[in-house]
Structure 1
Amino acid sequence: MSHRPIPDRRSVLRGTLAASAALTLPTALGTAPALALSGRPEAGWGVQAGDVTCDSGLVWVRSDRPARMVVETSATDSFRTARRWHGPLLGADSDFTGTTRLHGLPAGEQIHYRVLLADPDDPRRTGEPVTGTFRTAPAGRRRDVRFVWSGDLAGQGWGINESIGGYRIFDAMAGLDPDFFLCSGDNIYADGVIPPTQALPDGSLYRNVTTEEKSHVAITLDDFRGNFRYNLLDRALRRFNAQVPNVIQWDDHEVRNNWYPGEVIGSGTPYPAGTRLDDLALRSRRAFSEYFPISAVGGRPDGRIYRVHRHGPLLDVFVLDMRTYRDANSPDDQTADPQGILGAAQLEWLKRELSRSRAVWKVIAADMPLGLVVPDGVEGRPDFEAVAQGDPGAPLGRELQIAELLRHIKHRRITGTVWLTADVHYTSAQHYEPSRAAFKDFEPFWEFVTGPLNAGAFPANALDATFGPDRVFVKAPAASNVSPAEGYQFFGEVDIDGGSGELTVRLREYDGTVLFTRTLRPGRVGQ
């Protein structure tokens, strides 16, 4: 399978490496430095691209002070012939972040861009440009499509450890030259601290880069912003962002472990008693919208995270939000559940958009798995966090909503659906088959799970037989909370062949080693 290489990648990354120099991390102390203000605005947090279509893209940057964002684009990294795009004024109200929409771009081509930050009082005074690149989506189906996915970054107190290469998994993903990266949630762990050190089983220490915002749980807007900034201290992540555009969703740790709307925190936690999770979620959503190039979110309370990412005729990605509209965690055994895990409005949207899709492959990007039993973790009562609750019989609770969706897919003859997720901190492949299931009114499908990016790894979860899953592959540790220094960090790769239309999934380790491969044929069921 051929895939278009990036021309002169060293030149593409030159600006990012320059930005990295402005954020040199003193590994001896393991603390993150403050950015010293100089005479011109600086973009030391790198650049990102997102919302990339056949003819447009969204570019993100953060300044160290008030500045006007300017973006230049070119077909080559020389920028001899460049278009200029005047972006917003970056100020304290957005934590000095901002995005600029690029439009009228050629389909299926490499776009080189550089971001300049100009002094608002003197536009001639600009900082050092920071460069990036991305490929626009193809207009025709003859070009191959490749993307990678994973989730769960800086969890369980395992942060940026320079002695193992920081977030080294991003270098392995970048080496595959993907068209985009799908992050399946838990981009931050707002509910967890990053201590200076953690003990490893061999008696050595895992040494973290630390910041003030990561010394306590996130409560204020500035706390949440600091969590997103923490990850951008990592050089590998900044290099990756400059090369690969993002498709981002969220899950629970962007707010608090296992949260649901309407939840109120009691006493005995690091949070003030009576803290409303809806308030924390609103602050997190605003910081989320500031630190990723996602036009659909905004900072509004009703800003939608669920959406469709259309990547040419071969692929539509349905990015779900299984967190914002769910009902409360419970034993999940009710016989009627109209709210479920998606909410009624999102379910109807998903059914409608799947029916309208003409893409060969319809990837359903879920932030939680379907048939894996994920307990809430609350002692003293059998509450459940995801869809399954361990009862292998007919659908109950949140399973009712998934059953309705699977029935819709079958009866509308929607082909090419594949489920991708992360969340559980190991990697596996499940095939769902009605002949094995208690609920049988659906067509067979695959669900692929991977992660974490850089967090504690955990043993495999039990399966719930309601939808007939068969675990074809799994790699997970025997112990809980295995550190990134010990391995068990995973990502997935999806390749779609422009000629045959075949979709190949590879589950990979943090260094790129292939663990499992499965190729699916377009228009086929029961594969």
Structure 2
Amino acid sequence: MRSRLMSRRRFFGLGGTSAAAVVLGTGVLGGESAAARTLRKSNPFTLGVASGDPLPHGFVLWTRLAPEPFAADGGGGMPSHSVRVEYEVARDERFQSVVRRGAAVASPELGHSVHPEVHGLEPDREYFYRFRAGGEISPVGRTRTTPAAASMPRELNFAFTSCAAWHDGYFTAYDHMAEEDLDLIVHLGDYIYELEINAANNQRAEAAPPQLGTEAFDLARYRLQYSFYKAEEPLRKAHARFPWIHTLDDHEVVNDWAADKVLRGRHPNPDPVEFAKRRTAAFQAFYENLPLRSAQLPSGTRIRLHRRLPYGRLADITMIDTRQYRDPQPCNHGNGTGKTTGCEERFDTDRSILGAAQRDWLVEEFSRSRAHWQILGNQAPMAQTDEDPGPGQLLSLDPWDGYVADRDRVLAAADERGVRNLVVITGDRHTNYALDLKADYDEPDSRTVATEFVGTSVTSGRDGADIDAAGQAYLAANPHLKFYNFQRGYVRVNVNSERWRSDFRVMPYVTKPGAPISTRASYVVEDQRPGAKPA
């Protein structure tokens, strides 16, 4: 994956047939920008390279130029003009068989990031890519296309993860993830935390630069937060190794936000105009720093993240967005606690966590899908998660427990439209769960209609434990909860036509570097038999 020196002539010459119209955000280079200026500073690739949203015939590539990644203005030490960035894609790591070459415009308006979308490649094949800017050549990235739409792949191997708070520990999980034999990685949100990093909350041995000592509110500060996270070598390594599929949750903006409101936390009931500015800045920084397609280019306070990516006829990966379109959490979000022992409002059929338009889209995707496995990339737990082992209930209102009607509608729609196997993969909780999704949680013996695997965090929650007091209460209160673990790590998944297997990969600590990885438990789902069972 190291950068290789070579002459400008050998890298490539860009001919007239490669030019296309400039599309701001995708970074496609048009003839008018063909003589974009060069950089005066070396090593603009401090934030690494990445690929994402793979399809049978292509993927999106990403890099962001930042010779001074921790510049306080968030600009990465870049000039105020656009810069030409060349890229090439090859069948081999030595780039002796180049199949695509192109160029892109890294503009200051989008933080000098580029997102070229590569098409016309062979399905189910490994490729290598790299960039050049200002005479410097980037590290080499490895990626792959997905299988042809009509094919039945033998298997799919991927990992899913979420919740990487820099101040809570080291990104060792990404190091281990990069060494797995995977086809792709799914990140389910909280890629960054908007919070300040200072002596009061930092669990690491090294201090963060002083410019990280304030919370992110504006574009410059969000850009700086991404730069600081992406400067971590384990994260860059995992991005360079596999294509990623992304969505966001709350901490890419602010804790527990819901559409245009924040009902609890540090900033409840923010000024609507100011909060709109904050969301606009957060969405732009999210796009600038991740391998997202032009379809995900934000427009003000809106960014479309719900989409479906097929993996042949074996699986459809359907990403949903449970933040942008939801109604505010019910019952004043547990009167400020985030939890409630009784809240009739959570059953209101007019309230939604998806929004009507996204929910209708999801139901239509259920009808269209003929895949063996429908994988739903989801932010917060869909299953009921009661914290009271007694006769009462203590529920968090931010996940789907605050939006019961939407949960019922989605699960019923999957059943009615003949989804063969629905498996929900989820982040947010900093905990590992294996759960059965039930038709009726008031009737423990009711039918299991789908399966959910909740994956733990990269670092959030610090070192954790195998099982804590909360875990004992969860297991006692939720008979549909088959497994609980409170360590850090990720979930590794192997899927074939006969069964799904989730391996809960965990580490003993994250507050110091170098933790080993092991499989704490493995659970399977058999084809057309919903529900998690020990492997």
TM-score by length of 2: 0.77
**Aligned counterparts, 1:407-486, within 5 A:** 407-434=412-439, 437-438=442-443, 443-457=448-462, 460=470, 470-476=480-486
Query: Residue 16 of structure 1 contacts residue 132 of structure 1 at CA under 8 Å; is this kept in 2?
Result: no
* Aligned with 1:240 (options 238, 241, 251): 238
Matched with 1:96 is 112
* Aligned with 2:523 (options 513, 518, 524): 518
Deviation at 1:274, TM superposition (A): 7.0
Deviation at 1:239, TM superposition (A): 1.0
* Residues 1:469 and 1:444: Cα distance change in structure 2 (over 3 Å): farther
Deviation at 1:383, TM superposition (A): 7.5
Q: Deviations over 1:478-518 (max 9, x none)?
A: xxxxxxxxxx2120011013xx4422111111443111112
* Residues 1:428 and 1:439: Cα distance change in structure 2 (over 3 Å): closer
CA–CA separation in structure 2 for the residues paired with 1:208 and 1:427: 29
The count of residues paired between Structure 1 and Structure 2 equals 449
Report SS of the residue matched to 2:235: helix
Query: Residue 85 of structure 1 contacts residue 100 of structure 1 at CA under 8 Å; is this kept in 2?
Result: no
Matched with 2:357 is 345
Deviation at 1:436, TM superposition (A): 6.0
Query: Residue 59 of structure 1 contacts residue 101 of structure 1 at CA under 8 Å; is this kept in 2?
Result: yes
Report SS of the residue matched to 1:341: coil
Deviation at 1:446, TM superposition (A): 1.5
Query: Residue 432 of structure 1 contacts residue 446 of structure 1 at CA under 8 Å; is this kept in 2?
Result: yes
CA–CA separation in structure 1 for the residues paired with 2:233 and 2:438: 43
Deviation at 1:128, TM superposition (A): 2.4
Q: Is 1:220 the equivalent of 2:218?
A: yes
Deviation at 1:314, TM superposition (A): 1.0
Q: Deviations over 1:94-122 (max 9, x none)?
A: 111111111111111110111112x4xxx
Matched with 2:489 is 490
CA–CA separation in structure 1 for the residues paired with 2:265 and 2:432: 35
Q: Is 1:321 the equivalent of 2:309?
A: no
Report SS of the residue matched to 2:409: helix
Matched with 1:171 is 175
Query: Residue 196 of structure 2 contacts residue 216 of structure 2 at CA under 8 Å; is this kept in 1?
Result: no
Q: Is 1:180 the equivalent of 2:184?
A: yes
* Aligned with 1:153 (options 147, 161, 164): 164
Query: Residue 253 of structure 2 contacts residue 279 of structure 2 at CA under 8 Å; is this kept in 1?
Result: yes
CA–CA separation in structure 1 for the residues paired with 2:147 and 2:378: 24
RMSD (Å), alpha carbons? 3.1
Matched with 1:504 is 501
- Identify the range of structure 1 (41-50 vs 350-359) with the bigger mean alpha-carbon deviation: 41-50
Query: Residue 410 of structure 1 contacts residue 443 of structure 1 at CA under 8 Å; is this kept in 2?
Result: no
Q: Deviations over 1:329-380 (max 9, x none)?
A: 22252243334111111111111101111111111111000235499xxxxx
Report SS of the residue matched to 1:453: coil
* Residues 1:418 and 1:437: Cα distance change in structure 2 (over 3 Å): farther
CA–CA separation in structure 1 for the residues paired with 2:265 and 2:396: 19
Report SS of the residue matched to 1:472: strand
* Residues 1:169 and 1:268: Cα distance change in structure 2 (over 3 Å): closer
- Identify the range of structure 1 (88-97 vs 265-274) with the bigger mean alpha-carbon deviation: 265-274
Query: Residue 110 of structure 1 contacts residue 134 of structure 1 at CA under 8 Å; is this kept in 2?
Result: yes
Matched with 1:49 is 51
* Residues 1:213 and 1:382: Cα distance change in structure 2 (over 3 Å): farther
Query: Residue 195 of structure 1 contacts residue 215 of structure 1 at CA under 8 Å; is this kept in 2?
Result: yes
CA–CA separation in structure 1 for the residues paired with 2:396 and 2:523: 34
Matched with 2:303 is 303
Q: Deviations over 1:137-187 (max 9, x none)?
A: 1222243210000100116x325xxxxxx4111111111121111111111
* Residues 1:271 and 1:262: Cα distance change in structure 2 (over 3 Å): closer
Deviation at 1:308, TM superposition (A): 1.0
* Residues 1:86 and 1:435: Cα distance change in structure 2 (over 3 Å): closer
Matched with 1:481 is none
Report SS of the residue matched to 1:432: strand
Deviation at 1:127, TM superposition (A): 0.9
CA–CA separation in structure 1 for the residues paired with 2:126 and 2:44: 26
- AA matched with 2:109: D
CA–CA separation in structure 2 for the residues paired with 1:371 and 1:243: 33
* Residues 1:63 and 1:171: Cα distance change in structure 2 (over 3 Å): same
Matched with 1:386 is 399
CA–CA separation in structure 1 for the residues paired with 2:84 and 2:94: 23
- AA matched with 2:453: F
CA–CA separation in structure 2 for the residues paired with 1:341 and 1:369: 12
Q: Deviations over 1:398-449 (max 9, x none)?
A: 1011101111112222111001111111111112344764499865321111
* Residues 1:268 and 1:453: Cα distance change in structure 2 (over 3 Å): closer
Gaps of 5+ in 2: 6-38, 67-77, 332-342, 388-393, 508-515
Report SS of the residue matched to 2:284: helix
Matched with 1:87 is 103
Matched with 1:136 is 145
Query: Residue 130 of structure 2 contacts residue 138 of structure 2 at CA under 8 Å; is this kept in 1?
Result: yes
- AA matched with 1:490: G
Matched with 2:92 is 76
Matched with 2:197 is 194
Query: Residue 146 of structure 1 contacts residue 179 of structure 1 at CA under 8 Å; is this kept in 2?
Result: yes
Q: Is 1:107 the equivalent of 2:120?
A: no
Q: Is 1:67 the equivalent of 2:95?
A: no
CA–CA separation in structure 2 for the residues paired with 1:39 and 1:246: 29
CA–CA separation in structure 2 for the residues paired with 1:422 and 1:86: 36
* Residues 1:38 and 1:212: Cα distance change in structure 2 (over 3 Å): farther
**Aligned counterparts, 1:245-324, within 5 A:** 245-263=243-261, 276-295=274-293, 296-301=295-300, 302-324=302-324
CA–CA separation in structure 1 for the residues paired with 2:270 and 2:258: 18
Report SS of the residue matched to 1:414: coil
Query: Residue 48 of structure 2 contacts residue 138 of structure 2 at CA under 8 Å; is this kept in 1?
Result: no
Deviation at 1:262, TM superposition (A): 2.7
Query: Residue 213 of structure 1 contacts residue 227 of structure 1 at CA under 8 Å; is this kept in 2?
Result: no
- AA matched with 1:315: A
CA–CA separation in structure 1 for the residues paired with 2:520 and 2:265: 44
Report SS of the residue matched to 1:206: coil
Q: Deviations over 1:68-96 (max 9, x none)?
A: 12111111112112134323211211111
Query: Residue 197 of structure 1 contacts residue 208 of structure 1 at CA under 8 Å; is this kept in 2?
Result: no
Gaps of 5+ in 1: 1-12, 18-36, 120-125, 160-165, 200-204, 376-380, 390-397, 477-487
